Amino acid sequence: MSNTATTTATCILPPPPDFGSISLTGKAVDFHRNLLVGIREPHLMLPIIDYLEEHQLYDESSIKALRIQVVKATRMVDLLGDLTGEDMTKARAVLEKELKEAEEAADSAMKLIKNQEVWEKIQANAEGSSFGALVLDYGFPDDVLDRVYHLGRLNYQAGRYEDAYSAMQVYRTLLTYLGPKQHHKYMLSSLWGSLACAILTGQFDASVDLIGKLFELYQYESSGPSRPVGEGA
């Protein structure tokens, strides 16, 4: 693969605005320029690197160098320790502390997904309901959306994609209570994060649905005032 080759990529959708991105550099990763053009989200790079390694398309040292550089842009501390041999005890302790605090902060909302009866009721009555009523009915703090989103984002950064997907699912369902002409600051990122989690956990039907919701969101935002998109699961 030539380093001088050029590739024009047409982005169907913009890159995710909040779930992290990196720019790769160095001789060891020159070969990625065509294959990974337009893909700057580190977690989504990892399956591509696995493919390169599985099919032995490049030498082992180059693959390892690329994987280390990508993993360093995440908070997958155990994987980074395995790759580099570094002692990740302190980094792991910091991450576990943050995860515990985030889980406790979002517990009032996250426990809903474990109660099937309540969860189905919330999903069925989301349209047209007020966020204030939701807070009163279930005792949520006013900043519950921030708390749930933070938990999902932190789990995603740590490579806990199923937990991140669950948090984003709760976030997007609660988001519908904000009303038809409002949207939360993390609405777009929650859709991108949900899509990434669905891809990384092999939920391809859900991925197609989420792509549709993203198209719908951009369509509304390009034509006038935006409204919540991505209701429910």
- The type of residue at 178 is L
d(CA 173, CA 115): 14
Question: Which residue intervals of the chain bear CATH 1.25.40?
Answer: 89-222
Confidence band for 94, pLDDT divided at 50, 70 and 90: very high
Q: How far is CA 201 from the centre of its chain?
A: 12
Q: What pLDDT, in 10s, does the model give residues 156-165? A: 999 999 999 9
* pLDDT of 34 higher than 80: no
The set of residues, in sequence order, having a beta carbon less than 8 Å from that of 128 and lying 6+ positions away, is none
* DSSP-based three-state secondary structure for 9: coil
Whole-number CA gyration radius for the chain: 20
pTM assigned to the model = 0.77
For the domain spanning 89-222, the CATH number is: 1.25.40
